[in-house]
Amino acid sequence: MHHLSPERTCAKSCASPSLNTAQDGPSLSKEYQPMHPVRCQCGALRGQLESTGIHNRIICYCTDCRAFAHFLGKTSEVLDEQGGTEILQVAQSRLRFLQGEDRLAAIRLSDKGMVRWYASCCGTPMGNTMANPKMSFIGLVHTCLDQGRMDEDFGTNVAVVNTDTALGNPKPKQRGLLGVVARFLWIVVASRISGRYRKSPLFNGSGLPQVAPKILPAEELANLKSAIPPFH
């Protein structure tokens, strides 16, 4: 594996798309745009996602994604048996909230880390973004998506990345990283050129997150990363 830093690998791997349509720019039809439901586990925060366009389905085994699940106390719901998080990466402009936006909260694992969004009402992890609004993707965590429709809406091609930090042995086999990176770049560049990054529901007109992220102290992050998740 060609190693990238954990945050960069997570960003690119938690963000490279499969192709449901030929573009991630203009919608297929102004009259009908297929939507995928997005919601927290208690239902207070609800939204929808345009289910057509470029995306990545990824299982990420990085320690940062694992630390996020620990921070929220959601390891059993979020992580697989070896500590992986399934993520769907899409352009932020495809996401819209219908209710409960005031329940959005965010953290950063360090002052240079990704912005990790969650629902404050029930602790459901929602997704990961960069702090720069022009890097306009979000890696949606599977717990806020409809598991019964994932294959239908986003296909069965799932990349597996950051396997060197998976728990236990044998490690999962990495696959699909190059495709993830290529699709990630497509998402970001297309959003930037088209100006669709300005339509993100997560950043305001000044380019700041809608909610100021809490930055975790280094000691707290170290404790989260050293924890072994209790699996059922």
Instruction: Decide if 186 is inside a domain.
Output: yes
Residue partners of 222: CB distance under 8 A and separation at least 6: none
Instruction: Decide if 232 is inside a domain.
Output: no
Instruction: Decide if 1 is inside a domain.
Output: no
Is the entire prediction scored with pTM above 0.95? no
pLDDT score at 135:
97
Q: Which two tokens stand for residue 132?
A: 């720069």
Which positions of the chain have pLDDT values less than 70? Answer: 1-33, 228-232
pLDDT score at 161:
98
Residues 186-213 pLDDT 10s: 999 999 999 999 999 999 999 999 999 9
32 φψ region: left (φ > 0), alpha (ψ -120 to 50), beta (else): beta
Residues 74-87 pLDDT 10s: 999 999 999 999 99
User: How many CA atoms lie less than 13 Å away from 189 in the CB half-sphere?
Assistant: 9
Q: Tell me whether strands 159-161 and 54-60 are parallel, antiparallel or unpaired.
A: parallel
Query: Whole domain around residue 46: which residue ranges?
Result: 6-223
Instruction: Decide if 27 is inside a domain.
Output: yes
- Give the number of domains in the chain: 1
Reference 94, options 151, 44, 24; nearest CA is: 24
pLDDT score at 29:
40
Instruction: Decide if 75 is inside a domain.
Output: yes
How far out from the chain centre does Cα 43 lie? 19
Which CATH number covers residue 58? 2.170.150.70
